[in-house]
Structure 1
Amino acid sequence: MESLMRYINRTARLSTLYRNEKLKEYGLTGIHHTYILNICRNPGISQEKLAKMIYVNKSSVTRQLARLELKGYVKRIPSTSDKRELLIYPTEKTNEVYPIVADLLNEWNDGILEDFSLEEKEILLRSMQEIMQKAKIMVDDLPN
């Protein structure tokens, strides 16, 4: 059987290239979409929870949030209960770009799946959800 991961990885890279181009005018890159979406959906989320939510290491999240903060897309505020913990909030600029990012993802999904029937789309989505769940279990089982 051919390598499933090869196709998943290549599709993910192509998706990033697409988002890079589409988000360039906003000063964002293809990887920023997940930060924008999750911060808008979870205002006040901690950096640590965000890292776990998007499956990225904490240092990468810190770097990307610093870039987004410099561009005016997020505010990082120390927690009142733990000054070491930073809570992330969207800015007005983030809220303005949120629907653009959401539409962009819908545009991508519609484009890559346009030749699929509804049934094929549902099967693919369920299969990908199962694959992701198995991958999560494998990562969670790794020693810390």
Structure 2
Amino acid sequence: MEGESLGDILRPIGIIARSLDSISNIEFKEVDLTRGQYLYLVRICENPGIILEQLANLIKVDKTTAARAVQKLERNGMIERRSDVTNKKIRLIFPTNKGKNVYPFIIRENEYSNSIALKGLSESEQKQLGELLQKVESNIAGDWEYVKAGHKRNY
């Protein structure tokens, strides 16, 4: 972090996120997943029957972005949308067998990436890093909700 202030933690977090995203996009081509779709598929597999708005909130994207990703996954046969039994207007999202079969591959990649990222850290350092990152995530999530609701942050 030479040349950066100690408080600028977003730069390395961004580099880590973009690096892992690039790796995943290359490796997931073999299972018919394109840019970032694996994030959606994982959340759908973990939450079968989720609705689009909940999915968008989990991933921290706007509803339009989530809708485009869901449409691509549906066209690719990874997920399917079904009408809710009590309210036909509500569309529930489920993984298909194809999506369920890809899910373990994504999880293995995630576990491997975690092991690489945490290499050289003691168990207590890993725990501390996890706890600190959860605090950072919570802070940012609060701002995300605030801005999403139409407010402006005061810099």
TM-score by length of 2: 0.86
Q: Could you list the per-position Cα deviations for residues 31-81 of structure 1 after superposition, in whole angstroms to 9, with x for gaps in the alignment?
A: 122211111111111111111111111001110011111110000123333
Report the RMSD for the aligned CA atoms in angstroms. 1.4
May I ask how many residue pairs the two structures share in their alignment? 144
Q: Name the residue aligned to 1:85.
A: 90
Q: 2:64 aligns with which of 46, 59, 66?
A: 59
Q: Give the Cα separation in 1 of the matches to 2:126 and 2:34.
A: 27
Q: Name the residue aligned to 1:27.
A: 32
Q: Give the Cα separation in 2 of the matches to 1:137 and 1:64.
A: 24
Q: Name the residue aligned to 1:14.
A: 19
Letter of the 2:117 partner, please give it. Answer: I
Q: Does 1:123 align with 2:128?
A: yes
Identity of aligned residues (%): 29
2:105 is paired with a residue of what secondary structure? helix
Q: Does 1:72 align with 2:77?
A: yes
Q: Could you list the per-position Cα deviations for residues 74-109 of structure 1 after superposition, in whole angstroms to 9, with x for gaps in the alignment?
A: 001233333333210110001111111111100001
Shift of 1:30: 4.7
- List, as ranges, runs of 4+ consecutive aligned residues in structure 1 with deviation greater than 4 Å: none
For structure 2, the residue ranges without an aligned partner over 5 or more in a row are: 151-155
Q: Give the Cα separation in 2 of the matches to 1:130 and 1:44.
A: 29
TM-score by length of 1: 0.93
